[in-house]
Amino acid sequence: MPVLFEVKLEIPQFVAAAADVAEKWAKNLGDNAELVENRLKTAIPDEGSFQSKLATPAAEEWTSFVNPAYRSKHGRTRQQLVDTFAKNIGSAFTRWFEKITDVFATVDGVKAKRFKDLVNNARSSVAEQLRTKVLRITGDRVHGIGAGAIACYWLTGEATVAGKLRPGDQLVDGAPSMICQPDMVQAFRAALMNRLVQASMLISNSNYSATIIAEQNTTNNHLVQTFVDPGLGLMPFAPGAGSNVDFVIEDGIYKLRLKATQI
């Protein structure tokens, strides 16, 4: 069974965001405060919309995370807690609308002053999230593309990406190859990048738990397999298999491994 390619891409502990990234984020969001308010109130203009779009889905999602056998320290059962949560969020529209109106109100002659203050105060947090979670996968214009971006180009046959491998990356065999059908390239790249960012954040948040890595690799490979061109005769993508897109820890280093093997 010939290996089409195998490459291991190092994922750094962090990538420092460009100095102006958080500033641009805050400015763009602040400048569009009125648009944000209008979209919120257009999406949820009344209590009926609040119930259908926010309250009911939130109650249903929250319920699924509660242990059926759970009891609070005050002795309340799972069902009692679920009912209380559903009741509280179900009657929250007025408070929600008042808070939205308040945060976008004109204060001291400044439209949406409270919203803009909140955005400005969040700049350091946004920069930290980018530094430790997103940019380490995507890369940026200053440091070059990251493991996730390389993976997206590698798996869609972008030959030039081989020249963008970094010192910590390891080319074991082969070269970039398109594993999807040509008309699915853009859709595949978008879906894969989103999946890799999400998976890596969950893995990082778990302190690199082997269980979480295994769970995320299962999802990664399921996604990739849905895009594979069956005419290529590749072994199915699965964790640790002859074809895989796996996050791995090797010699204490966090990596993304890409491998494809023909049947």
- Residue with tokens 């269980």, as numbered in its chain: 211
From the list 196, 175, 158, the residue with the least C-alpha distance to 11 is: 196
pTM: 0.66
**Which DSSP category does 55 fall into?**
I
**Where do the structural domains in the chain lie, given as residue ranges?**
3-16+143-261, 21-125
Q: Does residue 180 surpass a pLDDT of 80?
A: yes
Strand partners of residue 174: 5
Please write down the long-range contacts of 81-85, taking CB distance under 8 Å and 24 or more positions apart.
Answer: 85/59
**Residue 98: what pLDDT?**
86
Q: How far is it, in rounded angstroms, from Cα 247 to Cα 141?
A: 24
Q: 104-137: per-residue pLDDT in tens?
A: 888 888 888 888 877 777 666 655 555 555 777 8
Q: How far is it, in rounded angstroms, from Cα 166 to Cα 178?
A: 21
Q: How far is it, in rounded angstroms, from Cα 72 to Cα 74?
A: 5
Spatial CB neighbours of 175, under 8 Å, sequence gap ≥ 6: 5, 159, 162
What are the φ and ψ backbone dihedral angles of 109, each rounded to 5 degrees?
80, 5
Q: How far is it, in rounded angstroms, from Cα 243 to Cα 90?
A: 47
Q: 188-228: per-residue pLDDT in tens?
A: 999 999 999 999 989 998 999 999 999 999 999 999 999 99
Q: Using pLDDT thresholds of 50, 70 and 90, give the confidence band for residue 59.
A: confident
Q: pLDDT averaged over the chain?
A: 85
